[in-house]
């Protein structure tokens, strides 16, 4: 099998499983869990590229043009959160919930700083 075929297979099977619930778990996952997921992805990319175990993960990502697990999962979560700002979205009610009174684990609202400026609903941050 060629490198491209193996990479596409990983994206179709492995990455899609990770992406399935990324908006739910990406805001709350621990660094050690990110490392476990990244290790699994690195192994798949090493198989695809034929690189040895000492190859740096940055080299693997550059050669395969695949983002790290954390970067990709947070991107998927941010895309979902941005879509929640559309009035017809089933999760729209989540965008207007007040911040919790006590410090809790992260939610999608932790991505507000990145997402709110991208909204196209005509409401600026100043008006809120």
Residues 65 and 24 in one domain: yes
With 0-12 / 13-18 / 19 or more C-beta atoms within 10 angstroms meaning exposed / middle / buried, residue 47 is middle
Residues 99 and 40 in one domain: no
pLDDT digits (tens, 9 = 90+) for 16-68: 998 888 888 888 899 999 999 999 999 999 988 888 888 888 888 898 999 99
**Domain termination site, one of 59, 75, 91:** 75
Closest among 112, 105, 102 to 28, alpha carbons compared: 105
Residues 15 and 29 in one domain: yes
Residues 71 and 82 in one domain: no
Question: Within a domain: residue 125?
Answer: no
Residues 23 and 83 in one domain: no
Cβ density class 100-124: b for 16+ within 10 Å, e for less: eeeeeeebbbbbeeebbeeeeeeee
Residue 49 vs residues 11, 25, 84, 92: alpha-carbon distances, Å: 14, 29, 37, 42
Residues 56 and 109 in one domain: no
10-14, 30-34, 83-87: which range is least confident on average?
83-87
pLDDT band at 121 (very low <50, low <70, confident <90, very high): low
Number of domains in the chain: 2
pLDDT digits (tens, 9 = 90+) for 98-111: 777 776 677 777 77
Residues 65 and 91 in one domain: no
CA 54 to chain centre: 26
Residues 100 and 64 in one domain: no
Residues 26 and 89 in one domain: no
What gap in Å lies between CA 20 and CA 10, rounded to an integer? 14
Domain span including residue 104: 77-118
Residue 82 has pLDDT above 50, yes or no: yes
Residues 7 and 70 in one domain: yes
Residue 127 has pLDDT above 50, yes or no: no
Contact 43, 35 (CB under 8 A): no
């Amino acid at each position: 099998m060629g490198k491209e075929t193996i990479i596409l297979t990983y994206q179709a099977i492995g990455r899609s499983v990770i992406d399935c619930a990324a908006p739910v778990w990406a805001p709350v996952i621990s660094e050690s869990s990110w490392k476990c997921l990244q290790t699994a992805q690195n192994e798949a990319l090493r198989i695809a590229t034929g690189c040895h175990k000492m190859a740096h993960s940055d080299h693997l990502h550059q050669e395969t043009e695949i983002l790290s697990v954390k970067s990709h999962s947070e991107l998927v979560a941010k895309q979902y959160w941005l879509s929640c700002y559309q009035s017809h979205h089933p999760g729209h009610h989540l965008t207007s919930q007040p911040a919790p009174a006590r410090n809790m684990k992260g939610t999608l609202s932790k991505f507000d700083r990145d997402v709110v400026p991208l909204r196209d609903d005509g409401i600026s941050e100043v008006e809120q």
